[in-house]
Structure 1
């Protein structure tokens, strides 16, 4: 298998939104990419084509990050096809429909927690095992501004899961620092992606963005830029940080 000096980065939820923008940005910045995705293989292949156009190698891998065996396979394929994994962007997330907690379905609560917290833990654990043994690596978790606002009336269960991601980021950074592995997070505010339509409110980004101090919703590329910086050597002394990218909200 051909080996290169380019970083090899796994991006979960890489077929759409922030994940897709992150794959393209990292490829332009010199990374080879593993595009993790849950369902839409066509979208993943489109992102993969963009990665290759930017000069990177890549592979798309279908994986439900809340399932341990699928996480193991995600990293196995990454290492078999591209080489040792040097980075992880823990981006895969779901929200379920908007609404009050009192009206939420138990199955939806479990799914949100399974993907947004357990999945992040499983991926971070596997990355930690590989990176600690090699003495270097970078993990960036995608949290949310919801973790500190609570998102009442919309998805407090999602906010609670993301608060768990923030705690994971801080604790794991301290745990892995002596092993040469950095762990940070970005906490986006309202970002104009397809997630709002999936929640049942396609106009939400524009409506919520108008109330942000900068007067608009964010763009996926702006979050990807923050992730790229945290992955880079320019952030070599940054760990245990949750970087808020939320337009002042």
Structure 2
């Protein structure tokens, strides 16, 4: 299956590194016009844009903290200014922050997790919906996690609960937008080789997690991108409200 996104406009949040970067590159290599959103990693975002240009695609980078409504407004306005509309939104921005047991977790950290991981999905979806309706159809993809169903590893209850909220939000929004031909789906990555694990998962815990993967290895960001591109292709036009588990068999539902 040759998946192409020629002339399609795609916003990918949190796209400077890891899974988001792989998703942005995948769309760019498939002919899309990609808006590479970032919050702090400007150089990394520009590297993603450069790689898309090298592959013959179109892309711009836009700095925005997608947990803040005014910056989300700016992100989508810059998208319209550059490309005139929107066809696909990928809500990828999110973070584990740090592993903290609930009894030790400051309220500020809890609020930050929910702001970055789920409020951002609400804000970006709300802004994208009118633009997708103007096209007469569209796709929204949310990035959940294996942790949504397992409760996460040690000290990640807060993170896992935000990813569970994303899974529920995906189903509800899919029902809400079905009549408008806007399909809403999600992917749920398992143990993927990304900066998130480099920063937040101790070696011993990571080894324990990896030992439970039937395929015997961590996943690559590009393997998550493949699932996203499939869901956004015409081949997935009868799929909505679904979450695809990308986890090497560690959880089989």
**TM-based fold match above 0.5:** yes
- Is the aligned partner of 1:131 residue 2:145? no
Paired residues of 2:6 and 2:32 also in contact (CA < 8 A): no
| Superposition deviation, residue 204 in structure 1 | 5.2
2:52 aligned residue = 51
Tell which deviates more after alignment, 84-93 or 96-105. 96-105
8 A contact 1:143–1:185 mirrored in 2: yes
* Match runs of 1:181-192 below 5 Å: 181-192=182-193
State the shift of 1:106 in Å.
1.8
Name the CA shift for 1:31/1:217 in 2 (closer, same or farther; >3 Å).
Answer: same
**Structure 1 residues 161 and 45, CA gap change in structure 2 (3 angstroms):** same
In the TM superposition, what is the alpha-carbon distance from 1:99 to its structure 2 partner? 2.8
Partner Cα separation in structure 2 for residue 165 and residue 143 of structure 1: 6
Question: Aligned partners of 2:57 and 2:205: how far apart in 1?
Answer: 34
Q: Could you tell me whether the CA contact under 8 Å between 1:64 and 1:71 is conserved in 2?
A: yes
List aligned pairs for 1:3-82, cutoff 5 A.
6-82=7-83
CA–CA distance in 1 between the matches of 2:59 and 2:179?
Answer: 30
**How far apart are the structure 1 equivalents of 2:132 and 2:218?**
35
Residues 186 and 53 of structure 1, relative CA distance in 2, 3 Å threshold: same
Which blocks of at least 5 consecutive residues in structure 2 are unaligned? none
Q: SS at the partner of 1:177?
A: helix
Task: Specify the SS of the correspondent of 1:79.
Answer: helix
Q: How many residues align?
A: 246
Label 1:36 to 1:163 Cα distance change in 2 as closer, same or farther (>3 A): same
Which residue matches 2:242? Answer: 241
Could you give the per-residue CA deviations for residues 13-47 of structure 1, whole angstroms, max 9, x where no partner exists? 00000000111111111211000001010000000
Note the C-alpha offset of 1:196: 1.5
Q: Give the match's secondary structure for 1:213.
A: coil
* TM-score normalized by the length of structure 1: 0.94
Cα distance in 1 between the residues matched to 2:153 and 2:45: 33
- Deviations 1:35-93 (Å, cap 9, x if unpaired)? 00010100000000011112211110011110001011101101111221100110000
Counterpart Cα distance in 1 of 2:25 and 2:147: 26
**Structure 1: unaligned runs, 5 residues or longer:** none
Tell whether the 8 Å contact from 1:57 to 1:82 is kept in structure 2 after alignment: no
Deviation sequence 1:120-171 (CA, Å, 0-9, x none): 1101111112112332111000000100101152211111111110111101
For 1:212-227, what aligned pairs fall within 5 Å after superposition? 212-227=213-228
Q: TM-score, normalised by structure 2?
A: 0.93
* Superposed CA RMSD: 1.6
